[in-house]
């Protein structure tokens, strides 16, 4: 057989709510018909605010094609995301019970296979409230939504009885699959250390050689080595440790995220019988109060954000391409760090962070809740499984093995810290927690003490800032009651409906907070939050994001982007000179105009006449690039034009005009350089901008909008519920087929053109091998 036989199982599932497939104890049979669905999938689309989030039990089932399997081989199934309690059945027999909504279920189903028969695999899911499964908090008081369904991908791997195991299936500490570390990572030399777990599930001893090869970013072989012969007794496994010396390595960092490939092969009798590939980044990290956070010896003071993974209407059921787009948006906003609050997120998102040079804090599920003994044990297991899944990602530098904002007993917190270091031995694993039992201390700005914290050389990370300290006086622990809320006009929860004044107030809060953060010894800080999101505790969206729920930028996005120096390496390129006028220049716009720029000088004109600048605000002395302020005596309709200069030369410009009469709709498919292709369903965000004859957005909010869509896609969530200040957004789910999406709309009083978006054929077949990760 082929050394690697891995198949994508995302397409062709049958789905039914439990009440529609008989009694809850009845497993679907092959002849049962549900609704045909593809993964990722959510059982029921919800309203924009998720106030009607579906809760219940449901079934997914399909037959496996085992044409490539024969007795003597092993068959593994992996489900990347099942919300949240799941039971797996093979031909009606329960074979696994899984208690995690965020981490994979991996199982060897070989014992239940019959030669010549394609088995029926069924998954029963329940997202009913369960205090034993992290995060564990009752839904009505939780600040994010769990959602439901088989919301990530699934795959099948057929391999030899002598094979490399799955990290999420093996029980050994720091075991399973391939564990990679870097004892040395210098400009001239690096050592890549590998620990490969080889299992023999057969009836007799087998002998093999493990071959490890490191391929550079250009695909050339940098190092290769063979182990001595390894004898693996029947029914046992062995860890094989090897070191590879790499000359002139290309090191990974946020500024230059060079990725290599590690290929590990099992060779028996001169034949490759198994192969696993991992993308790796050679780097070493260290963190201390006095030395800061260092990657390969260079200090990086990280400025980032917190991310919730949900999207409108579909919740967590977000395909790989859309995950990559979110990572690109994050980098575009000027962030080089993200905290995955407050749960494990998609491997595809982590892959994109590896590529883009975004440092990640990986988190176990937890938020303001401490459960009983079963809850504790599940937290411990979540920590182990999270580390085993994500340990080889170079972007993952911090591990939050802590329940966010939770009064954890000391023995519980120290056990989680110990588990982290058991699963990744050595000095390259940094645990984080908001109680002082971990390698790095987490502190939110609203809780105070950022300047006074000191515990020897322990490093500090500001876990979040910019929202709650401006929203309530109670430090965020009574969100469901609203106790202690400050005046709405002062908070950071703003949308375009709040006008320029509201968006500027929001931006000002983040400017003030970041300026203060930069006076602390914190090695990283993350603003709250990257995008607006839904939550179970309230029908109102949390609107503190630098982008809205549909990922459309607010003024704050441009502020953070402006804080990166022109020419600064940003992973896949350099930060370009930029200038942005934070105004829509309407009669309601403030007369003090904020211009955001990373240039040396900025000029502003109104209708061609120079506007005198106000001195740089002393309120933000520590920002790399404080906003430039220009004050006008009165409103005059027309055009504001800003120019950014470096070395006396104009390198960036931006104009804003008072809108005229609405004439047309401009369309944008927000693909972020990741075009949609056939083969797998995709989720596209489409923005419509109502503009005048000059292309200026018209701040209209009361228009009736009906989207018209044809081609290989369908509208998700229905027609846009509103037009917010001239912009409306919606989701399109592609069918997986190639063709032309034709997008238009009926908008009151406008003649709207048709926008064509091409979905090109993908060379991969419907169930092509999964390439982003090869694991058994």
Q: Which residues share a beta bridge with 120? A: 63
Phi, psi of 710 (to 5 degrees): -140, 160
User: What's the pLDDT band for 618 if we cut at 50, 70, 90?
Assistant: confident
Confidence (pLDDT) at 213: 98
Q: Which of 173-182, 439-448, 598-607, 767-776 has the lowest mean pLDDT?
A: 767-776
Say if residues 161 and 74 touch (Cβ distance below 8 Å): yes
Query: Phi and psi (nearest 5°) for 603?
Result: -120, 145
pLDDT tens digits along 408-456: 999 999 999 999 999 999 999 999 999 999 999 999 999 999 999 999 9
**DSSP three-state, residue 179:** strand
pLDDT band at 172 (very low <50, low <70, confident <90, very high): confident
CA distance linking residue 203 with residue 625, whole number of Å: 67
Res. 757: pLDDT tops 90:
yes
3-state secondary structure string across 650-700? EEEEEEEECCCCCCEEEEEECCCCCCCECCCCCEEEEEEEEECCCCCECCC
- pLDDT band, very low/low/confident/very high, at 772 (cuts 50, 70, 90): very low
Domain at 303-562, CATH class: alpha beta
Gap between the Cα atoms of 89 and 21, Å rounded = 15
Out of 409-418, 517-526, 747-756, which region has the weakest mean confidence (pLDDT)? 747-756
Q: Which of the pair, 84 or 718, is modelled with greater confidence?
A: 84
Q: What is the pLDDT of residue 5?
A: 85
What pTM value is reported for the model? 0.95
Would you identify the CATH topology of the domain 579-583+585-657? Immunoglobulin-like (2.60.40)
**Domain residue limits, the chain:** 5-158, 178-280, 303-562, 579-583+585-657, 664-759
Reported as a single tens digit per residue, the pLDDT across 373-408 is 999 999 999 999 999 999 999 999 999 999 999 999
579-583+585-657 matches 303-562 in CATH topology: no
At residue 722, the pLDDT reads 76
Burial of 272 (0-12, 13-18, 19+ CB in 10 A): middle
Distance CA 440, CA 265 (A): 37
**pLDDT (tens digit, 9 = 90+) per residue, 359-379?**
999 999 999 999 999 999 999
Q: Which CATH architecture has domain 664-759?
A: Sandwich (2.60)
**Residue 558: its H or E element:** helix 555-562
User: CB neighbours (10 Å) of residue 758?
Assistant: 12
Residue percentage of the chain with pLDDT more than 90: 85
> Following DSSP, what letter does each residue of 83-123 receive, concatenated?
ESEEEEEETTEEEEEEE-SSS-EEEE-GGG--TT--PEEEE
Exposure of 159 in the CB half-sphere (CA atoms within 13 A): 28
690 pLDDT above the threshold of 90:
yes
Name which of 100-104, 467-471, 519-523, 707-711 the model is least confident about. 467-471
The superfamily in CATH containing domain 178-280 is Immunoglobulins (2.60.40.10)
Helix (H, G, I), strand (E, B) or coil at 422: helix
Residues ≥6 apart with Cβ < 8 Å to 453: 441, 443, 460
- State how far the Cα of 606 lies from the Cα of 588, in Å rounded to an integer: 16
So what's the pLDDT on residue 762? 82
Distance between CA atoms of residues 103 and 343, nearest Å:
9
Which pLDDT band holds residue 482 (cuts at 50, 70, 90)? Answer: low
pLDDT at 776: 26
| Predicted confidence (pLDDT) at residue 210 exceeds the cutoff of 60 | yes
pLDDT at 24: 47
User: Can you give the pLDDT at residue 735?
Assistant: 92
Architecture of domain 5-158: Sandwich (2.60)
First-to-last CA distance in the chain?
A: 15
| Backbone torsions φ then ψ of 596, nearest 5 degrees | -100, 130
């Amino acid at each position: 057989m082929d050394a690697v036989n891995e198949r994508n199982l995302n397409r062709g599932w049958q789905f039914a709510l439990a009440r529609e497939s008989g009694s809850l104890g009845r497993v679907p049979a092959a002849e049962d018909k549900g609704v045909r669905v593809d993964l990722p999938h959510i059982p029921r689309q919800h309203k924009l605010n998720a106030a009607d989030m579906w809760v219940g039990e449901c079934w997914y089932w399909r037959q496996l094609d085992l044409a490539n399997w024969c007795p003597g081989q092993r068959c593994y199934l992996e489900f990347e995301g099942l919300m949240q309690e799941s039971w797996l059945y093979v031909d009606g027999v329960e074979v696994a019970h899984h208690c995690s909504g965020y981490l994979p279920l991996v199982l060897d189903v070989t014992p239940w296979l019959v030669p010549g028969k394609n088995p029926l695999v069924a998954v029963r899911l329940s997202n009913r409230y369960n205090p034993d499964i992290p995060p564990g908090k009752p839904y009505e008081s939780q600040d994010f939504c769990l959602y439901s369904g088989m919301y990530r991908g699934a795959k099948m791997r057929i391999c030899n009885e002598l094979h490399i195991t799955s990290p999420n299936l093996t029980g050994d500490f720091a075991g399973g699959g391939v564990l990679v570390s870097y004892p040395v990572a210098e400009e001239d030399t690096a050592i890549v250390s590998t620990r490969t777990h080889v299992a023999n599930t057969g009836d007799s001893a087998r002998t093999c050689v493990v071959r490890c090869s490191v391929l550079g970013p250009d695909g050339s072989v940098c190092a290769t080595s063979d182990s001595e012969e390894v004898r693996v007794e029947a029914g046992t496994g062995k860890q094989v440790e090897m070191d590879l010396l790499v000359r002139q390595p290309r090191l990974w960092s946020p500024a230059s995220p060079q990725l290599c490939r590690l290929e590990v092969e099992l060779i028996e009798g001169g034949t490759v019988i198994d192969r696993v590939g991992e993308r790796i980044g050679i780097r070493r990290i260290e963190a201390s109060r006095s030395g800061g956070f260092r990657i390969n010896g260079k200090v990086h003071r990280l400025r980032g954000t917190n991310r919730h993974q949900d999207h409108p209407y579909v919740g967590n059921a977000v395909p790989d391409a859309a995950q990559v787009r979110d990572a690109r948006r994050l980098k575009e906003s000027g962030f080089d760090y993200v905290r995955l609050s407050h749960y494990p997120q998609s491997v595809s998102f982590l892959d994109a962070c590896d590529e883009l040079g975004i440092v990640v804090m990986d988190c176990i599920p937890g938020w303001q809740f401490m459960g009983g003994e079963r809850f504790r044990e599940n937290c411990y297991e979540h920590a182990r499984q999270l580390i085993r899944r994500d340990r080889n990602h170079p972007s993952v530098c911090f591990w939050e093995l802590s329940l966010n904002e939770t009064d954890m007993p000391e023995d519980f917190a120290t056990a989680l810290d110990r588990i982290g270091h058991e699963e990744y031995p050595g000095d390259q694993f940094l645990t984080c927690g908001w109680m002082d039992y971990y390698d790095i201390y987490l502190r939110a700005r609203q809780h105070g003490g950022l300047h006074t914290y000191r515990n020897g050389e322990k490093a500090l990370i500001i876990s979040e800032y910019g929202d709650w300290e401006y929203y309530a006086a109670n430090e965020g622990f009574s969100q469901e009651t609203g106790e202690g809320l400050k005046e709405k006009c002062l908070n950071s929860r703003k949308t375009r409906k709040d006008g320029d004044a509201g968006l500027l107030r929001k931006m000002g809060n983040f400017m003030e907070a970041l300026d203060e953060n930069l006076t602390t010894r914190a090695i990283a800080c993350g603003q709250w939050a990257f995008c607006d999101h839904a939550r179970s505790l309230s029908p109102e969206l949390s609107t503190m994001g630098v982008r809205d729920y549909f990922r459309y930028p607010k003024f704050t996005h441009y502020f953070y982007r402006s804080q990166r120096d022109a020419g600064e390496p940003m992973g896949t390129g350099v930060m370009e000179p930029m200038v942005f006028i934070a105004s829509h220049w309407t009669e309601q716009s403030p007369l003090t105009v904020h211009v955001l720029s990373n240039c040396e000088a900025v000029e502003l004109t109104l209708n061609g006449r120079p506007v005198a600048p106000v001195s740089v605000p002393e309120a933000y002395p520590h920002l790399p690039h404080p906003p430039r302020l220009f004050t006008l005596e009165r409103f005059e309709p027309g055009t504001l034009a800003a120019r950014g200069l470096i070395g006396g030369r104009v390198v960036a410009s931006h104009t804003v005009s008072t809108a005229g009469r609405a004439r047309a709709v401009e369309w944008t498919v927000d693909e972020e350089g990741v075009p949609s292709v056939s083969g797998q369903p995709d989720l596209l965000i489409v923005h419509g901008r109502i503009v005048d004859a000059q292309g200026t957005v018209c701040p209209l909010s009361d228009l009736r909008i009906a989207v018209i869509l044809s081609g290989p896609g369908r509208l998700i969530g229905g027609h846009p519920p509103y037009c917010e200040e001239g912009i409306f957004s919606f989701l399109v789910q592609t069918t997986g087929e190639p063709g032309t999406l034709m997008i238009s709309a009926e908008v009151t009083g406008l003649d709207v053109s048709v926008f064509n978006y091409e979905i090109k054929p993908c060379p991969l077949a419907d169930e092509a091998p999964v390439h982003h990760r090869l694991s058994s």
